[in-house]
Structure 1
Amino acid sequence: MKQVYNFNAGPAALPLDVMLQIQDELLDLQGTGLSILEISHRSKEYENINGETQQLLKELLNIPSDYEVLFLQGGASTQFAMVPMNFLTGGRKASYLHSGTWSGKAIAEARKIGETAIAESSEADHFKKVPNLNRMKIDPETAYIHLTSNETIAGTQYQNFINTGEVPLFADMSSDILSRPIDVSNFALIYAGAQKNLGPSGVTVVIVKRKILERIPASIPDIMNYRIHANKRSLFHTPPVFAVYIVNLMLKWIRNNGGVKAIEQRNYRKANLIYSTIDKSGGFYNGLAHPESRSMMNVTFSIFNEGIEKHFLQEAEQNGFVGVKGHRDAGHLRVSIYNAVTYEQCQALTDFMLDFQKRFG
């Protein structure tokens, strides 16, 4: 096989061990004689996978017993609409923290449903840092507060969260869930598209406090109603069976590699290696995110000369470094180093960066 280093922002890298297991079981799942691609979602085998995957996530994130774990379809983009449909009701107002492109999309969808305020924004800083949570004033009548924990395009990430008291805190953690330990009890709802750290595209994990499900109006269409999905254990309609199966394997891979704390330490080493290469380059490479808000998942940077930057992208592709071109809305360079990306792959990239600087600096 051709040597490729996968730094795509999503769908992203999967561990080799997981892909080999998928390959091994693809034609015959656990002795059933059926492929996971054709097995019934009403079968005992899939119900076991569904339940085990929920339990694995609860164990890895220490999810309290009064929370539900759901597997839904439609990605985070569907959640941008589902969240306000379910909870921005009764004439109340929602507060959003605006940290970049993805929080902006969530805000735009919420405004179609009901009154939506910007509690804090880092737009004045061109989204090079996350909003300051300590400046946020919390109105006790607010329906909920929403934030995006990691902005993949800007390469920024909240380093800490705050306790919002009786006002529910919701979070889009699509690009950094399971990359570090979090206190789930600080949040009433967390959602995450799987295609970064959890598995393939096609399934979205939702972690929701059971108590707030009581607030959902009966008028919400069943397919968009969190309470319906919770009551049916994510089996209200045909689930994304194959995607949930891969999430199952990914969670076992995380568990077998020391759990979330060990994964965090690996991620820190990877990010520190690349950021150090940027910071020690004497201005040849320039980090795009404010140092205090730098993401451990998405490293964004530029090269001092536009022509040399284009040449860097050409050489990177020739050398098997995939996905290092920045998002079309931001340009420049981006390296996504989700859980499955290895330290050795990051070392190969930094070796290439140092060699490139030596030749063109």
Structure 2
Amino acid sequence: MKKIGFLSFGHWSDARGSATRSASDVLLQSIDLAVAAEELGADGAYFRVHHFARQLASPFPLLAAVGAKTSRIEIGTGVIDMRYENPFYMVEDAGSADLISGGRLQLGLSRGSPEQVIEGWRHFGYAPADGESDADMGRRHAETFLELLKGEGFAKPNPRPMFANPPGLLRIEPYSAGLRERVWWGSASNGTAVWAAQQGMNLQSSTLKADETGEPFHVQQAKQIRAYRKAWDDAGHARTPRVSVSRSIFALTNDTDRAYFGRGDSQDQVGILDDMRAIFGRSYAAEPDQLIKQLLADEAIAEADTLLLTVPNQLGVDYDTHVIESILTHVAPALGWQNSQVVRGDGAVVHANG
């Protein structure tokens, strides 16, 4: 049983062949792709967040718009850089977007990735405390955000307010019940995966992680997931956590697919990222029957309950819709993955939830 969604980085440029030539193109096409993915029966529409770059940035206007245009699909991020965030204002934005979507928000957070500018979070008004790293600051912001999402009152009310207050200390409004359990942490190491479990967050693991053992990427990622689940059990949380992995997967079903991605097998790559030795997972691109065999050998995909397909958003909504549909149609059934689409006897696609 596996949920299948897409993850878009939201690039735009005026390069030849780009279908996203402006920020407006990316934002509007992101909404269109989420609507199309829901119609196909995909389970999630997720968006990356990068600052100072020609990519998707401030996520909540987009998430709210997608929530208003769809009715079933999960809507999320992968991931929000918490070094840049005011946790108090973020609770207001997240609560509003979640209520607009009817409780479908899945918020992926992290301490952040390599940046376009030097210490960009300083331009947003944030700086680490004495003795604290920027990563520590990001995790501190995340802990504050999680605490506020509990919806408990903490602010002393004004004795002469403009509007009447409820009794007791006040919380941040609007409050969206259940959102606290739909927060994820994007982890690049085994240690931060364990920390995420201790904090009661779901786990997002992307196409790169710290190279901690020298083993193939998918093996290391599977071990990370197992360490996370053990830490979750040790922490004694009542609910079952969720785990997602991201992959670049392309079923080669026509000449366009082969022209774009049919260049043969890719391999894991190792490099230095922010002074960390990192391993980058391979992409998968093959004819459906061969692709199924390759994916069956990926230990981390087998461990995860959610798979996010990274889509080439600059190729446009129609092509990305084709990429998602190809996986749902030609690959997922053979692997026994379940998504929300059900095909009736007359060939029409309906949704499992009606």
TM-score normalised by L of structure 1: 0.24
TM-score normalised by L of structure 2: 0.24
